[in-house]
Amino acid sequence: MAGKRVAPGGIRRLGETWTPLGMPSAVRLPHNGGMRAVSLVPSGTLMLRALGVEPVGVSHSCPNPHGVPVVTEGLIPKGLPQGEIDRRVREAYQRGLPLYRIRGEILASLEPELLVTQGVCEVCAVTPGEVAGALPLLAQRPKVVELTGVRLGDLFADLRHLAREAGVEERGRRLEEELRNQLACLPPPPKVRPRVVFLEWLDPPYLGGHWVPEMVALAGGEYLGPAPGEASRRVPPETLPEAEVVLLSFCGYSLEEAEQAVTSYLDAGGPLASYLEERRTYILDAAPFQALTHRVVEGIHLLAGILRGEAAPGDLVKPL
């Protein structure tokens, strides 16, 4: 059973939900409590489940172990090379075209009382404008929670807001307390912090921003990228910083998918091949890094192990 396994950093997985060890059972065990919540973004789905609220509908990119109705769809085909995905995203953005579509009839049929969306990234999920356009399709207007955090500390504000609107404030308080306790258990930084580059896309390279710099710093590294809270930044391959450790964690990619993308890139002689092969490079599952959820605490513990040479290959990390 997945709930018996312990992950790096002392985090236990319960089905698709990761929660800190020692979490009170009222928080660990999903229970809907009568709230009809629909999540239009993976971060919302993960946060709801950590709070014990099982959504009645989710986005196409959310983990969906119970097979609930899917209320969005992506308009860029799956399985394309990263370079082609980037080209299509930039083309759609320049032409003012959406990357996702809300399935209005399905959403309306679910009669949501709570709708969870995000306002951080126009590429990652449906935008606030697209959500606003779907609201008139609903017989009754739901409460809308827009997750907007871009710094690590914003996680707790988003968590409290979501817990309050979902009617599970006590569970939110307990989860926040446990997450803060997990952060307090991090090892002290090494005497000399290794220089770190975190790439959330490889072709073309994007240096991770927002909460990633704080994650690296808390884990014990010196981050060579955007400042905390700043957006991810595209950089020419030849200008990447001289890092000691390179972390590859591509938005929306599992570890297996990321490994396949890196292999294809190297086989094609990508311009960063030598850069990656000459450094301590690790491929990561994106789940603990790509969204500002409780899982970033797990990600920080994982990075702390990597930077100290203590992270064993598993289902979240693999050395290049």
- Counting Cα atoms < 13 Å in the Cβ hemisphere of 197 gives 24
- CA–CA separation, 229 and 209 (whole Å): 7
Alpha helix segments (H runs only) across the chain: 25-28, 42-50, 82-95, 104-110, 128-134, 154-166, 169-184, 212-219, 255-267, 273-277, 295-307
Residue 22: phi and psi, rounded to 5, are: 85, 5
Return mean pLDDT, the chain.
87
The domain segmentation of the chain, as residue ranges, is 2-181, 195-319
Q: What are the start-end ranges of the E strands in 42-106?
A: 72-74, 100-102
Q: What is the pTM (predicted TM-score) of this model?
A: 0.86
Strands 245-248, 195-202: pairing is parallel
Instruction: Give the per-residue pLDDT at 32.
Output: 52
Tell me, what's the pLDDT at 125? Answer: 81
Residue 51, pLDDT score = 95
Topology match between the domains 2-181 and 195-319: yes
18 band by pLDDT with thresholds 50, 70 and 90: very low
Using pLDDT thresholds of 50, 70 and 90, give the confidence band for residue 75.
Answer: confident
Whether the pLDDT of residue 27 is over 80: the answer is: no
Q: Kindly tell me if the per-residue pLDDT of 252 is higher than 50.
A: yes
Q: What is the DSSP letter of 231?
A: P
- CATH classification code of 2-181: 3.40.50.1980
**Per-residue pLDDT tens digits for 256-292:** 999 999 999 999 999 999 999 999 999 999 999 999 9
Q: Dump pLDDT digits (tens) for 213-233.
A: 999 999 999 999 999 999 999
Q: Shortest CA distance to 112 belongs to which of 39, 15, 51, 178?
A: 39
Mean pLDDT over 59-66 rounds to: 90
Check residue 8 and give its pLDDT: 34
**In 10 A of CB 111, how many CB atoms?**
14
Measure Cα distances from 250 to 127, 146, 221, 232, 311 in Å: 20, 23, 20, 12, 19
Does domain 195-319 fall under CATH 3.40.50.1980? My reply is yes
Q: List pLDDT tens digits, range 6-16.
A: 233 333 332 33
- Phi, psi for residue 205 in degrees, rounded to 5: -75, 135
Alpha carbon distance 39, 58 (integer Å): 5
Q: Phi/psi at 18 (nearest 5 deg)?
A: -105, 130
User: If you average pLDDT over residues 182-208, what whole number do you get?
Assistant: 95
